[in-house]
Amino acid sequence: MNRKILIDTALSGLDRIGYELDRLGITSKVNRHNLAAFVMHEQKHLEGEWDSLQAKVGRRRSQIESLVHTIENQADILLSRLRKSA
């Protein structure tokens, strides 16, 4: 089955459910426009979460690189002192 046909069928079903709920006086908030808005909102939310995670990983990576650099410098200093004393 074609993806477009599948999406159109799902949206038609959603519209029908929204119409029936509205007819029964339950809600008028179930329709393809609200669903699209919800999906876009969640997409932006997930993009924000991903960016936040990437920033945290980058910060930790930078901290680890700084620590490794400090350890290497301290090791070089210690080794040079040991060579001088030997």
Per-residue pLDDT of 23-79, as tens digits, reads 888 776 666 777 778 888 998 999 999 999 999 999 999 999 999 999 999 999 999
**What is the DSSP-derived secondary structure letter of residue 28?**
S
Nearby residues of 17 by Cβ (< 8 Å), 6 or more positions away: 30
**HSE on the CB side for 65, CA within 13 Å?**
6
Q: Structure pTM?
A: 0.56
The alpha helices in 1-86, defined as continuous H runs, are 3-23, 32-85
